[in-house]
């Protein structure tokens, strides 16, 4: 088990003037967190509120660092029943294996990063309502391994635990009267304004002091003690070299049959379909508004069969060069990398996602936009040469364009807003 920070032993529970309603707070938090970014907009996360005696006891033991229970009959495992005034509350963040991308091993890292980003927004929204993290522990395991089934409870776990969920971390939350750490309305507004901006950026440079602020550690919620490096490539040489790297190598991802079929399965061919499913992306999300004929042309061009046939005549390379053309004039490129444990752990991946959430929200609040370019991170040999070429410390987990949006309407440019499942869908009470 990864040792993480927990409250100091014997820390007294603060007195509470009123009974805080955790159910209302968590309901608000899932609405804020629902707008989190995720690879292919697959939303691979789940979150369990441990309310039943067994689940609560097991979660309490996990946060305290005790061995997983072999049986979990009876006991609250923590002072005060779940509904008692001043009772601590327990949440378990999970990866929903049914919703994960799986065509390439590296996509597992993107799943941890996506879940970490969601968990961070959730904890920040709870913090904004006075519920702060009093203890936190991550599941054991390496960055690229499937999560341990027997954590934080011996399989099969509490009766209501969804069988497709792999636990990532357990958190103890405590209400501090008047202890809101940030303004909920501002957080909600920034989370709603954040979006992936696939249109060109303005050529205007990003101010160095803004880049410095974005690169500073954030140290709250899941990002606490995260060993995440933030590198900004802004020089003309570096940006040209990165664009050349993308032009040369991003085609690998487009020509990889299983990876492309999986990507294609997230394409929704109408806004109504995207809204009904609540995930994936439409052509307009990717390319902006398209005329009917252009839409059909894209549909045909992106179909896995077309990709398979045209692979031999350099079509993936053409797509890579198109992507590079938008990378080249972007004023800054951001790389996030894991700089701590070697080899990195599952915990590092989740914390990396938390750091990404803070970074992306910070950029949004500063009027900036991001457009990730993951195609060159998804194959180990490409990632290694990227890390070498640009002297990236540790293991790169996220690469993105960063700049000012191309239109006055921050980040909109005629691109619609991506869809989500209902906010409460990933939340279970166990």
Ligand X SMILES: Cc1cc2nc3c(=O)[nH]c(=O)nc-3n(C[C@H](O)[C@H](O)[C@H](O)COP(=O)(O)O)c2cc1C
Binding site for ligand X (CB under 6 A): 37-41, 110, 113-114, 117, 195-196, 198, 281, 371-375, 398, 418
Q: Residue 429 and residue 15: Cα distance in Å, rounded? A: 26
Q: Whose CA is closest to 387, among 331, 338, 324, 326?
A: 338
Minimal distance, residue 37 CB to ligand X, in Å:
3
Measured between alpha carbons, how far is residue 290 from residues 27, 286, 409, 411 in Å? 37, 10, 19, 18
Minimal distance, residue 396 CB to ligand X, in Å:
11
- Nearer Cβ to ligand X (41/339): 41
Determine the residue with CB nearest ligand X: 37
Q: Residue 115 and residue 353: Cα distance in Å, rounded? A: 7
- Nearer Cβ to ligand X (117/134): 117
Q: Whose CA is closest to 224, among 7, 48, 78?
A: 7
- Alpha helices, DSSP H, located in 201-282: 208-215, 236-249, 251-255, 257-265, 271-277
Minimal distance, residue 410 CB to ligand X, in Å:
13
Do 206 and 401 contact (CB within 8 A), yes or no? no
DSSP 406: S
Minimal distance, residue 111 CB to ligand X, in Å:
8
Minimal distance, residue 61 CB to ligand X, in Å:
31
Q: Residue 136 and residue 6: Cα distance in Å, rounded? A: 6
Tokens matching residue 230: 């933030």
- Nearer Cβ to ligand X (172/371): 371
Minimal distance, residue 377 CB to ligand X, in Å:
8
Minimal distance, residue 405 CB to ligand X, in Å:
12
- Nearer Cβ to ligand X (89/282): 282
- Nearer Cβ to ligand X (339/418): 418
Phi, psi (deg, nearest 5) at residue 72 = -130, 45
- Nearer Cβ to ligand X (92/375): 375
Q: Residue 340 and residue 206: Cα distance in Å, rounded? A: 28
Minimal distance, residue 151 CB to ligand X, in Å:
24
Q: Whose CA is closest to 118, among 172, 191, 51?
A: 191
- Nearer Cβ to ligand X (371/383): 371
How many other C-beta atoms lie within 10 A of the C-beta of residue 158?
Answer: 19
Minimal distance, residue 279 CB to ligand X, in Å:
9
Measured between alpha carbons, how far is residue 104 from residues 139, 232, 263, 372 in Å? 22, 27, 11, 18
- Concatenating the DSSP letter of every residue in 323-366 gives HHHHHTT-SEEEEEEE-SSSS-BHHHHHHHHHHHHHHHHHHHHT
- Nearer Cβ to ligand X (89/218): 218
- Nearer Cβ to ligand X (61/395): 395
Minimal distance, residue 191 CB to ligand X, in Å:
10
- Nearer Cβ to ligand X (114/330): 114
Q: Residue 291 and residue 296: Cα distance in Å, rounded? A: 9
Q: Residue 142 and residue 123: Cα distance in Å, rounded? A: 23
């Amino acid at each position: 088990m990864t040792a993480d920070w927990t409250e100091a032993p014997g820390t007294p529970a603060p007195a509470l003037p009123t009974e805080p309603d955790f159910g209302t707070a968590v309901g608000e938090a899932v609405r804020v967190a629902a707008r989190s970014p995720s690879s292919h907009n697959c939303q691979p996360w789940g979150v369990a509120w441990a309310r039943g005696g067994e689940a609560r006891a097991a979660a309490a033991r996990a946060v305290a660092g005790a061995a997983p229970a072999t049986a979990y009959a009876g006991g609250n495992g923590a002072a005060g029943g779940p509904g008692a005034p001043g009772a601590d509350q327990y949440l378990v963040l999970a990866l929903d294996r049914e919703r994960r991308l799986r065509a390439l091993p590296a996509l597992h890292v993107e799943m941890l990063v996506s879940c970490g980003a969601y968990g961070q927004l959730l904890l920040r929204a709870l913090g904004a309502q006075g519920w702060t993290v009093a203890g936190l522990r991550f599941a054991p395991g390496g960055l690229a391994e499937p999560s341990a089934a027997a954590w934080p409870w011996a399989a099969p776990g509490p009766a209501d635990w969804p069988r497709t969920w792999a636990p990532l971390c357990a958190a103890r939350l405590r209400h501090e009267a008047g202890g809101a750490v940030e303004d909920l309305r501002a957080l909600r507004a920034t989370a709603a304004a954040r979006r992936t901006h696939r249109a060109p950026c303005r050529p205007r440079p990003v101010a160095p002091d803004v880049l410095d602020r974005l690169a500073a550690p954030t140290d709250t919620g899941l990002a606490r003690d995260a060993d995440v490096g933030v590198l900004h490539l802004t020089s003309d040489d570096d940006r040209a070299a990165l664009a050349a790297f993308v032009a040369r190598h991003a085609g690998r991802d487009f020509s990889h049959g299983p990876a492309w079929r999986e990507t294609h399965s997230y394409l929704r061919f109408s806004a109504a379909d995207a809204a009904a499913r609540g995930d994936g992306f439409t052509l307009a999300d990717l390319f902006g508004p398209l005329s009917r004929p252009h839409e059909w042309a894209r549909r045909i061009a992106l179909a896995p069969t077309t990709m398979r046939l045209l692979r031999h005549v350099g079509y993936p390379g053409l797509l890579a060069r198109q992507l590079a053309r938008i990378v080249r004039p972007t004023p800054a490129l951001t790389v996030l990398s894991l700089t701590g444990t070697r080899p990195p752990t599952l915990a590092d991946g989740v914390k990396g996602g938390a750091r990404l959430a803070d970074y992306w929200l910070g950029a949004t609040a500063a009027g900036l936009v991001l457009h990730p370019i993951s195609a060159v991170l998804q194959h180990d040999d490409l990632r290694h040469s990227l890390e070498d070429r640009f002297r990236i410390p540790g293991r790169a987990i996220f690469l993105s364009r960063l700049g000012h949006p191309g239109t006055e309407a921050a980040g909109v440019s005629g691109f619609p807003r991506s869809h989500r499942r209902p906010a409460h869908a990933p939340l279970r009470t166990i």
